[in-house]
Structure 1
Amino acid sequence: MAQILAPSIQWQMKITKSSHKASPITSNMWGSLLVRHDKKGAPTNSAKFRALAIKAESGVVNRIEKLLNMDITPYTDKIIAEYIWVGGTGIDVRSKSRTIPKPVEHPSELPKWNYDGSSTGQAPGEDSEVILYPQAIFKDPFRGGNNILVICDSYTPAGEPIPTNKRHRAAEILSNPKVIAEVPWYGIEQEYTLLQSNVKWPLGWPVGAYPGPQGPYYCSAGADKSFGRDISDAHYKACLYAGINISGTNGEVMPGQWEYQVGPSVGIEAGDHIWCSRYILERITEQAGVVLTLDPKPIEGDWNGAGCHTNFSTKSMREDGGYEVIKKAILNLSLRHLEHISAYGEGNERRLTGKHETASIDTFSWGVANRGCSIRVGRDTEQKGKGYLEDRRPASNMDPYVVTSLLAETTLLWEPTLEAEALAAQKLSLKV
């Protein structure tokens, strides 16, 4: 992943007041996503991108597009808040809009809301009301102005977190005084795959056939090697606009696959930023007419899967002598390998095969600069004697609330028995 040096100040989950001059992402900004049009103004049938808005032959933007790009801030103090939550599958994002009387700076200023949980697989039809609690706010790159995106978690009317609400438990762990004292940093590498909408086949691949073998595509440039760059770049800028702590992006090993990095983020901020960035990516691919998948192995065979490698460090790891702290953390992670694997994403067994830069799902391993291990320690960390570790096991569809809180719990709150610790240290050749 791109080098990450220090966390943003946004971990307090506030946003600054947006300037009235701030504008949403308009069709002009998405211009490179448009396919060629015929003389009648209809988009051509292409496996690449669908036009975002059809322009008249004269080049005048149609009336709907003008309304979409309208800045309402000179005319009203009201703003639009897009309430976003995680649906019943644990990976789908849902949202709906609400008018708020005036701009806000903190989620505590926003009202709770509700939705029909029976339509998202999160409540029975006879008692379907689920309550949304606003938790984090970001600027809305689609509507611009003072409009916002609101990350929420879900509760019963009695105030109990519903089963798919993983944020609640994560917040409990990450607010533990021992965890707070260690100021956990997370740098999350989100990989994803872009699919052609009509055939659900990777972007840039011949329909019903395969491109050339992997090798030329990673961090590549060129029409025959890089597919979907405009989506990646549009997402990058939209995340920066929103206030998401995105730190970089790159093309991945499998053609049609991309990665972006978020972090370093402190505590619960990591999960909030990843979920908001996923929502923005869903919206962008929706406008581009391309399907987003977070499946960890979208194409079987000799192709890389998609992961969500999670870089993790604590205050003690980042200080002098931190390398020994890192090795103790690795020991704890080895003893809870199965617990972590069970929480690291659906379908991960299809990805963690011991091939394509992965370790076997059945065996825990670690190494310095070794991308075929469960846990990788950077060469720079080894040389400096302090730094971070990279957990390479999480799948691309993992829940960031689960992964970040589990890493903190296992390395900071959980203590193995002395016997188990000694056996694990011997097996892993760790001296702690």
Structure 2
Amino acid sequence: MTPREILALCREHQVRAIDLRFMDFPGTLKHFTIPVQVLTEKSFEEGFDFDASSMYGWQAINESDMLVVPQPETAFVDPFLPHTLCLSCNIQDPITRVDYAKDPRNVARKADAYLKSTGIADEIRFGLEPEFFIFDNVRFDQTINQGYYHLESAEGEWARGKFSEGPQSNAGYQIRKGEGYFPVPPGDILHSLRNDMMMALTECGIEIEAHHHEVATGGQAEIDLAHKPLLQAADLLLRFKYIVKNVASRAGKTVTFMPKPLWGDNGSGLHMHLSLWKDGETLFADSGYGGLSELALHAMGGILHHAPAIMAFCCPTTNSYKRLVPGFDAPINLTYSFRNRSAAIRIPVHTSNRNSKRFELRFPDSSSNPYLAMSAIVMAALDGIQNKIDPGPPLDKDIYDLEPGELDNSPKTPVSLDKALDALRADHDFLLRGDVFTEDVIDTWIWYKTERDVKALRERPHPCEFLMYYDI
């Protein structure tokens, strides 16, 4: 849509407020609102000023003024805020009008531009499968003298012996641990809510392929998004999370994209299906392993080679690595396979249609900033193609049936966020090409995640430590 068409849309839908949205450096969606009368065609060039010093990892107080510049192609009418149109924005310096290096959306734009500049492809498409939990209630706190969390779900195993009344009263259909995949109602008590989410998403311009209950108990869900180009896929994922959370909130529920909220049950990932395209044709289909082209295998090689480093963006929380443990669906071996879901990269089985050929990256999760995570993946894949990185032998066996020692030489995912940050510190030259990431972006990310995540958790007593050590 053009700026003029946006203004016409506002008149058609009786819009009275414009919500300007952008993502901060850590990956939190931010916004402020202006009256519709303030928005003009020039606004899409001139932007609106705001204080960037209040955003973690951005400007100092003496250089705080920055601009948000609305992007007309991102417009949608908000289904939760009356008479409100939402616009995603780019961040610019108000003096030089240069796009801000630490604006995550700008990083994704530069990754897309660099992809085109290589001549390898003119488009990369991402099909996203975000998983999340829908809980009835949550309580948590961390103070000087206490630290706890408490989750409630009517469908959880822990609810079976608890008396309750109403539409979700105990009828004996609670889902057992690890048995949450594809149950029908009344066991799947959240089907109608997911339908509401799907319809709200569709009405807001997000193309949905399917939704279903996931493996874990406690209301784990998955809603799959159709393949879209890099920047559009990241924009739509932010819209997706906003809509899903608000639909749940209206129903008196709470949604979390935290990777591992439940101990001993499956965590939530963000599986990403990737494919490269040029002149409207896929570059991934050929007669190689799993029906892939040599170019696709080299792309996988680059991602696997740089995986420990890019996981600092794809799995950016301390909680992410509680999901990446043995015994669950989340992969801990950096290898690939046709059909095998226990590998870090899976080549799906599908129809003979060449255009559906892709591979699925399985270690990312939805705590990530999608602009930074997807950009890092693109840069790793391009490095693999440019340097013809061999992905090594596939893992076609069930890892849970292997003999002890069979995977000793297989590279593993980092065991913690600080290890992933160490990997990023040692291996990030490939991210700097085309000025996609800058040294400042890398350094700020490592500093922020070390101080705000790693150090914060390391310094606090954990409730489990009281179970283990209080009577020592």
Q: Flag whether TM exceeds 0.5 (same fold).
A: yes
Q: Which amino acid in 1 is paired with 2:86?
A: L
Check whether the contact 1:184–1:266 (CA below 8 A) recurs between aligned residues. Answer: yes
Structure 2 residue aligned with 1:114: 49
The offset of 1:129, in angstroms, is 3.9
Say which of 282, 288, 309 aligns to 2:271.
309
Say which of 107, 119, 123 aligns to 1:183.
123
The offset of 1:268, in angstroms, is 0.9
What whole-Å deviation, never above 9, does each CA across 1:294-341 have from its counterpart, x for those lacking one?
11111111x110000000111243555561232222222221121222
Check whether the contact 1:151–1:276 (CA below 8 A) recurs between aligned residues. Answer: no
Structure 1 residue aligned with 2:324: 352
Task: State yes or no: 1:232 paired with 2:194.
Answer: yes
Task: State yes or no: 1:259 paired with 2:199.
Answer: no
Task: State yes or no: 1:201 paired with 2:162.
Answer: no
Structure 2 residue aligned with 1:364: 334
Task: State yes or no: 1:297 paired with 2:260.
Answer: yes
Q: Percent identity?
A: 20
Check whether the contact 2:47–2:68 (CA below 8 A) recurs between aligned residues. Answer: yes
From the superposition, tell whether residues 232 and 417 of structure 1 become closer, same or farther in structure 2 (CA, over 3 Å). Answer: same
SS in 2 for 1:358: coil
Check whether the contact 1:320–1:386 (CA below 8 A) recurs between aligned residues. Answer: no
Give the Cα–Cα distance (whole angstroms) in 1 for the partners of residues 125 and 154 of structure 2.
36
Give the Cα–Cα distance (whole angstroms) in 1 for the partners of residues 78 and 371 of structure 2.
22
Structure 2 residue aligned with 1:68: none
The offset of 1:141, in angstroms, is 2.2
Check whether the contact 1:139–1:241 (CA below 8 A) recurs between aligned residues. Answer: no
Check whether the contact 1:179–1:412 (CA below 8 A) recurs between aligned residues. Answer: no
Taking the TM superposition and a 5 Å limit, the aligned residue runs for 1:328-339 are 328-339=298-309
Structure 2 residue aligned with 1:219: 182
From the superposition, tell whether residues 111 and 230 of structure 1 become closer, same or farther in structure 2 (CA, over 3 Å). Answer: farther
Give the Cα–Cα distance (whole angstroms) in 2 for the partners of residues 218 and 102 of structure 1.
49
SS in 1 for 2:254: strand
From the superposition, tell whether residues 427 and 259 of structure 1 become closer, same or farther in structure 2 (CA, over 3 Å). Answer: closer
Q: Which moved more, 1:387-396 or 1:400-409?
A: 400-409
From the superposition, tell whether residues 308 and 179 of structure 1 become closer, same or farther in structure 2 (CA, over 3 Å). Answer: farther
Check whether the contact 1:297–1:351 (CA below 8 A) recurs between aligned residues. Answer: yes
Q: Which amino acid in 2 is paired with 1:295?
A: M
Structure 1 residue aligned with 2:32: 96
The offset of 1:138, in angstroms, is 1.9
The offset of 1:233, in angstroms, is 2.2
Q: Which amino acid in 2 is paired with 1:174?
A: D
Check whether the contact 1:194–1:202 (CA below 8 A) recurs between aligned residues. Answer: no
The offset of 1:286, in angstroms, is 3.3
Check whether the contact 1:274–1:400 (CA below 8 A) recurs between aligned residues. Answer: yes
Task: State yes or no: 1:425 paired with 2:392.
Answer: yes
What whole-Å deviation, never above 9, does each CA across 1:187-223 have from its counterpart, x for those lacking one?
0011111233353515325697676533542222324
From the superposition, tell whether residues 240 and 18 of structure 1 become closer, same or farther in structure 2 (CA, over 3 Å). Answer: farther
Give the Cα–Cα distance (whole angstroms) in 2 for the partners of residues 242 and 336 of structure 1.
36
Structure 2 residue aligned with 1:392: 362
The offset of 1:110, in angstroms, is 7.2
Give the Cα–Cα distance (whole angstroms) in 2 for the partners of residues 107 and 148 of structure 1.
17
Give the Cα–Cα distance (whole angstroms) in 2 for the partners of residues 137 and 398 of structure 1.
23
Q: Which moved more, 1:311-320 or 1:265-274?
A: 311-320
Check whether the contact 2:234–2:370 (CA below 8 A) recurs between aligned residues. Answer: yes
SS in 2 for 1:184: strand
Check whether the contact 2:26–2:369 (CA below 8 A) recurs between aligned residues. Answer: no
From the superposition, tell whether residues 351 and 217 of structure 1 become closer, same or farther in structure 2 (CA, over 3 Å). Answer: same
SS in 2 for 1:132: strand
Structure 1 residue aligned with 2:427: none
Check whether the contact 1:87–1:120 (CA below 8 A) recurs between aligned residues. Answer: yes
Taking the TM superposition and a 5 Å limit, the aligned residue runs for 1:123-142 are 123=59, 128-135=64-71, 136-142=74-80
Structure 1 residue aligned with 2:235: 272
Q: Which amino acid in 2 is paired with 1:307?
A: G
Task: State yes or no: 1:84 paired with 2:47.
Answer: no
The offset of 1:411, in angstroms, is 2.2
Check whether the contact 1:195–1:292 (CA below 8 A) recurs between aligned residues. Answer: yes
Give the Cα–Cα distance (whole angstroms) in 2 for the partners of residues 204 and 119 of structure 1.
39
Give the Cα–Cα distance (whole angstroms) in 2 for the partners of residues 19 and 119 of structure 1.
31
Taking the TM superposition and a 5 Å limit, the aligned residue runs for 1:49-60 are none
The offset of 1:386, in angstroms, is 7.1
SS in 2 for 1:295: coil
Q: Which runs of 5+ in 2 are unaligned?
A: 140-149, 161-173, 397-472
The offset of 1:17, in angstroms, is 6.3
Give the Cα–Cα distance (whole angstroms) in 2 for the partners of residues 190 and 117 of structure 1.
30
From the superposition, tell whether residues 278 and 358 of structure 1 become closer, same or farther in structure 2 (CA, over 3 Å). Answer: same
Check whether the contact 1:114–1:130 (CA below 8 A) recurs between aligned residues. Answer: yes
Give the Cα–Cα distance (whole angstroms) in 2 for the partners of residues 198 and 411 of structure 1.
39
Structure 1 residue aligned with 2:146: none
Give the Cα–Cα distance (whole angstroms) in 2 for the partners of residues 337 and 206 of structure 1.
34
Check whether the contact 2:275–2:283 (CA below 8 A) recurs between aligned residues. Answer: yes
Q: Which amino acid in 2 is paired with 1:344?
A: C
Q: Which runs of 5+ in 1 are unaligned?
A: 1-9, 23-72
From the superposition, tell whether residues 267 and 206 of structure 1 become closer, same or farther in structure 2 (CA, over 3 Å). Answer: closer
Give the Cα–Cα distance (whole angstroms) in 2 for the partners of residues 120 and 207 of structure 1.
41
SS in 1 for 2:91: strand
The offset of 1:229, in angstroms, is 3.3
Say which of 154, 169, 190 aligns to 2:91.
154
Check whether the contact 1:132–1:153 (CA below 8 A) recurs between aligned residues. Answer: yes
Q: Which amino acid in 2 is paired with 1:425?
A: G
The offset of 1:389, in angstroms, is 0.3
From the superposition, tell whether residues 355 and 246 of structure 1 become closer, same or farther in structure 2 (CA, over 3 Å). Answer: same
How does the TM-score come out when normalised to structure 1?
A: 0.70
Check whether the contact 1:79–1:102 (CA below 8 A) recurs between aligned residues. Answer: no
The offset of 1:184, in angstroms, is 1.5
SS in 1 for 2:35: strand
From the superposition, tell whether residues 380 and 201 of structure 1 become closer, same or farther in structure 2 (CA, over 3 Å). Answer: same
Structure 1 residue aligned with 2:347: 377
